[in-house]
Structure 1
């Protein structure tokens, strides 16, 4: 049950996120659908390829494709009512999608009896992969490469699931809330990761 819930939440949240970014970049309707779908399913597709899940598993998710299509359509045709609120609520959708998909990715890796490291990688790829593809296609710097804390929350969620601290559905829902909440708090309070700096000495030529 938890698997289906996380799949639905993650797909819905990232389909909305991708469609809104496409609208902000003034894509046509085809571009909005493409970016919305890639954001919703891109992370899972990359994860499946890397951990050896058959690619046809992606195309068997007819219900989720329908959900994503409906939500993208709503975003496109009602954007003038939605975009005014996106700056406030858009990051919340992204945080929810990150949390849901990171937990789902970790669950899949555990089902395949993979190592703890693979569980964490699956969580990060599933949680942040779609957003990375979205930002690259939209010509934006991916959140995962910025100072703000983003994919770290996916890795922590994957670690917790991998260590089997949360073995029941209701505890996984708690983890979903905690992961999304920490991502939102990192935005509100501007938590950042330490950044390394290298001073480059420039050679000054003598004329």
Structure 2
């Protein structure tokens, strides 16, 4: 009993020490570039679904800022950056307008997919770690902290796919993505809370790790498998 109390006290001290460290901040250039390119990817999906301008814009907004909307609107109950930062909405509108003007060329450019994959590899873990930090500050228990971090990282793509009536690509079998986000979220907490590594060093280490895993999984086609093999229940 006493040993359990001592362990709990040490954990709280470690958590408090982590909270007192300077927060990891996503570089503003990466932040805006990620939002812009994710908005482009969302706009392309919306146009392929034959949505009008308003529909395409909504898809682009959710694709580019959906993770923070889930994090702040559902879990932390605070104003999300897309509503408090005056840059995001004009940036997303610019992305939609660009896709509208050059829709045929952009939709057929393999370069767009490659650039988005690179931004995913860097931006997704960065924003997942931001979610971890904010949920730690809010006093959420560690399992919930991981949930918020993962939602912050992959929520935009999930909301985009659900909005257009598709099964979320992030949740389907394919190249390593969500499982990689879960891994780096857990490792970040272990490094910072368990070993006292600074949040800045741990964050960049996790970004490099996720980027490496993501790029290798795309390059060598490392794929996850469905839990249940064979046709889905709906197909039977």
- 1:158 pairs with one of 185, 192, 196: 185
- Does the 8 Å contact 2:73/2:80 carry over to 1? no
How far has the Cα of 1:168 moved from its partner?
4.6
Equivalent residue, structure 1, for 2:168 = 142
- 1:11 pairs with one of 31, 35, 38: 35
- The alignment covers a number of residue pairs equal to 200
Deviations 1:30-85 (A, max 9, x none): 22211100112222111223423324665212222232222232222222332222
Is 1:183 the counterpart of 2:218 in the alignment?
Answer: no
Task: Give TM-score, length-normalised by structure 1.
Answer: 0.79
Equivalent residue, structure 2, for 1:74 = 98
- Does the 8 Å contact 2:161/2:168 carry over to 1? yes
Equivalent residue, structure 1, for 2:198 = 167
Structure 1, gaps ≥5 residues long: 201-207
Tell me whether 175-184 or 87-96 shows the greater mean CA deviation: 87-96
What is the aligned-residue RMSD (CA, Å)? 2.8
Larger Rg: 2
Alignment of 1:18-29 (within 5 A): 18-29=42-53
Aligned CA distance change for structure 1 residues 145 and 126 (closer, same or farther; 3 Å): same
Tell me whether 85-94 or 187-196 shows the greater mean CA deviation: 85-94
Aligned CA distance change for structure 1 residues 13 and 123 (closer, same or farther; 3 Å): farther
Equivalent residue, structure 2, for 1:203 = none
**Residue 62 of structure 1: SS of its match in structure 2?**
coil
- Structure 1 distance, partners of 2:224, 2:158, is 18
